[in-house]
Amino acid sequence: MLFQNKVYHRRNLLIFYLLCFGAFLGLFVRLAYIMVCEGDYYSERATDLHERERSIKADRGLILDRNGKVLAGNKSVCTVSVVHSQISDPEEVIRVLCEHLDLSEEYVRKRVEKYSSMERIKSNVDIETGDRIRELKLDGVKVDEDYKRYYPYGSLASKVLGFTGSDNQGILGLEVKYDSYLKGEPGKILTVTDAKGLEVDGISERRIEPVSGSVLYTGLDINIQAYATQIAYQVMESKQADSVSIIVMNPQNGEIMAMVDVPEYDLNNPYALPEEPGSEELTAEQKQECLNRVWRNSCINDTYEPGSVFKIITAAAGLETGVVTCDSRFYCPGYIVVDDRKIRCHKTQGHGSEDFVLGTMNSCNPVFINVGLSLGIDRYYEYFEKFGLLKKTGVDLPGEAGTIMHKKDNMGNVELATVAFGQSFQITPMQMLTTAASLVNGGKRVTPHIGVKTVDQNSQETVLSDGEGERILSEETSETLRGILEQVVSEGTGKNGKVEGYLVGGKTATSQTLPRGSGRYIASFLGFAPADNPQVMAIAIVNNPKGVYYGGQVAAPVVRQLFENILPYMGIQEYNQ
């Protein structure tokens, strides 16, 4: 009996054992599948779960001028923090931090005594103070180095450079336009933590090194910029103007050497409001509005009626089509009737009989109205578009304003007449300068630009300027135009722009700001030198000058002063040498 039962036992025990064996085998296969096939997936997920990231800021790329001077750099600063659990002598820590960081005891005590893994006491501490605190070797006090954007020239070229925010991200100007090049790639310190987020000791940190941002080489010249800024402030003060803008450009390739829009603001303290009565009581929204006004770059963000400077465009179109030549004769009685409207010349008694060159020198409105009307709406509009005036210039700064122009279908002869001498539409100063440069440089449209190239940390270069632009005017017409504009300066309305020893071409403008009759004017002058082979072109716009407001009187001397200094500096030879 006993023996018989034992047989069942043995057989069934073996079956049960084999079942268990099979189960273990199956589980082993399952285990191997999880650990080998799915292992990468699970361990990656686990690592994500365990690691806490601390990012390492990447050095932001420098912005350099054409001579290699640093326009925007980085300054080392420190962040001082305390680690509660590591502090051994809290009173000493509080005393030292109060003393060195110039903080109230109450403020520091609250943070030192707070139970947290890490508490920031103060950031943007200068490096000397940070070093002094570090040398004291206090337990639980951490001094971390950090970078802060620093602009060595303060407010110089502020409207062009822009500034960065607290995370070193570009906010305005070149800083935001070239942010992708400048910002680099932040690195990471990965620390292993437990489920509550506490760091685990004894497990080495993983470091992913940051990639520094690329260096931005610009065509700006800090000396020209500084000088242009100086004279802009001078004229703003002497004429009690609202603002003065000056752009200096190489008309051959569109490289901008200086862009001034005074008043400028301090790049190292961009959020400071201008000192005006009542500025303390502003709401946050009003403050922001005020700052936006301060930061605004009217060279590109705002449009204006270009006035007589725009006659360059009408002249170019007229000469190119042949509706007018240098010798064409005109008669100016002081006004002209277009359809049923009588449009006055600025010289109410009239310029009398004059040829086209003299008409340009006189900046005679009826002459240009006649040229415009001879072209007709279709052709005029065609040239307006061909010269690139309907599009943006493509300057490498954010927020460029577009042209405000009549729709072609809505244009009648009266509108055409006013456009022909630069009224009833609006363009940016940048657009005016760029189009004029493209017409006198031999007839090729240039794209204005400040950035020239970027160089990354591996010395890899990226050239930013585009190639040669399309032809918009023939060489011959361009040459004729240069000749006429040279005479405007040498003997015409622009004679205040004359520079001893140089051939300067240019055109003045005095435009009334809208609404008309407000008594607000914009005096402007566009000049270039040498007139026969333009190497530099500048536009000066004086917004709302008091007293004399004519462009020839107010703006032309600004460009003259500028040219007197920068032409020799740029190594442009006097014609008689």
Partner 1 sequence: MATQKGKNRRREKNEYFFDYSLLFLLLFLLVFGMVMIYSASSYEAFQAYGDAAFYFKKQLVAVAVGLVGMVIASRIPQIWLRYVAYISYLVSALLILLVLTPLGVESHGARRWIGIPGTSFNLQPAEVAKISVILVCALLLSNIKGDVKKWKYWFGMMAVPLPLAAEIFFVTRNLSSAIIVVAIGWVMVFISSPTFLRYAVMVISAGAVAAVVIRMAVSSGGDGNFRFGRIVAWLNPEADSQGTGFQTVQGLYAIGSGGVWGKGLGESIQKLDFVPEAQNDMIFSIICEELGLFGGGAVMILFIMLLWRMMRIASNARDNFSALVVSGVMAHIAVQAVLNIAVVTNTIPNTGVSLPFISYGGSSVVFLLAEMGLVFGVAGKIVKREMN
Q: C-alpha angle 539/545/550, rounded to 5°?
A: 65
Indicate the residue among 106 and 194 with the shorter CB distance to partner 1: 194
Phi, psi (rounded to 5 degrees) for 169: -95, 145
Closest approach, Cβ 16 to partner 1, in A, equals 6
Indicate the residue among 34 and 514 with the shorter CB distance to partner 1: 34
Judge if the upstream peptide bond of residue 429 is cis by omega within 30 degrees of 0. no
548 binds partner 1 (CB under 8 A): no
Burial of 544 (0-12, 13-18, 19+ CB in 10 A): middle
196 binds partner 1 (CB under 8 A): yes
Is the separation of the CB atoms in 454 and 61 below 8 Å? yes
C-alpha atoms less than 13 angstroms from C-alpha of 8 in its C-beta half-sphere:
4
CA-to-CA dists, residue 517 to 125, 309, 417, angstroms: 54, 21, 20
Is the separation of the CB atoms in 127 and 78 below 8 Å? yes
13 binds partner 1 (CB under 8 A): yes
Region binding partner 1 by CB under 8 A among candidate stretches 157-165, 186-194, 306-314, 522-530? 186-194
9 binds partner 1 (CB under 8 A): yes
Edge-first strand order for the sheet with 206-208 is: 51-56, 187-192, 206-208
Contact with partner 1 (CB under 8 A): which of 96, 101, 118, 192? Answer: 192
462 binds partner 1 (CB under 8 A): no
Phi, psi (rounded to 5 degrees) for 238: -70, -35
Phi, psi (rounded to 5 degrees) for 158: -60, -40
Residues 6+ apart with CB under 8 A from 354: 329, 330, 331, 332, 362, 364, 367
Contact with partner 1 (CB under 8 A): which of 104, 195, 275, 281? Answer: 195
Closest approach, Cβ 54 to partner 1, in A, equals 18
Region binding partner 1 by CB under 8 A among candidate stretches 71-79, 196-204, 209-217, 491-499? 196-204
Closest approach, Cβ 32 to partner 1, in A, equals 6
23 binds partner 1 (CB under 8 A): yes
Q: Is 88 a catalytic residue?
A: no
27 binds partner 1 (CB under 8 A): yes
Residue with tokens 């103007």: 241
Nearest residue to 437 via CA among 516, 529, 502, 362: 529
Contact with partner 1 (CB under 8 A): which of 106, 135, 167, 194? Answer: 194
Phi, psi (rounded to 5 degrees) for 187: -90, 180
Is the separation of the CB atoms in 236 and 539 below 8 Å? no
Closest approach, Cβ 6 to partner 1, in A, equals 7
Region binding partner 1 by CB under 8 A among candidate stretches 25-33, 173-181, 443-451, 480-488? 25-33
546 binds partner 1 (CB under 8 A): no
Closest approach, Cβ 119 to partner 1, in A, equals 22
Is the separation of the CB atoms in 429 and 299 below 8 Å? yes
Identity at 398, one-letter amino acid code? P
Closest approach, Cβ 56 to partner 1, in A, equals 23
DSSP class of 513: P
Size of interface with partner 1, in residues (CB under 8 A): 44
Strands (E), 200-309: 206-208, 215-218, 243-249, 256-262
273 binds partner 1 (CB under 8 A): no
Closest approach, Cβ 84 to partner 1, in A, equals 17
Indicate the residue among 193 and 230 with the shorter CB distance to partner 1: 193
Indicate the residue among 200 and 404 with the shorter CB distance to partner 1: 200
DSSP class of 461: E
272 binds partner 1 (CB under 8 A): no
115 binds partner 1 (CB under 8 A): no
10 binds partner 1 (CB under 8 A): yes
Closest approach, Cβ 157 to partner 1, in A, equals 52
Indicate the residue among 30 and 206 with the shorter CB distance to partner 1: 30
DSSP letters, 142-195, are EEEEEEEEE-TTTTTTHHHH--B-TTS-B-SHHHHHTHHHHS-B-EEEEEEB-T
Region binding partner 1 by CB under 8 A among candidate stretches 41-49, 127-135, 230-238, 342-350? 41-49
47 binds partner 1 (CB under 8 A): yes
User: Which of the following is catalytic: 212, 243, 308, 328?
Assistant: 308
Is the separation of the CB atoms in 312 and 368 below 8 Å? no
| Contact characters 199-238, partner 1, x per CB under 8 A | -x--x-----------------------------------
Closest approach, Cβ 208 to partner 1, in A, equals 19
Residue with tokens 């290699």: 68
Region binding partner 1 by CB under 8 A among candidate stretches 15-23, 220-228, 314-322, 460-468? 15-23
Q: Which residues bind partner 1 (CB under 8 A)?
A: 1-2, 4-6, 8-10, 12-14, 16-17, 20-21, 23-24, 26-28, 30-32, 34-36, 38-43, 45-47, 49-50, 192-196, 200, 203
By annotation, the residues acting in catalysis are 308
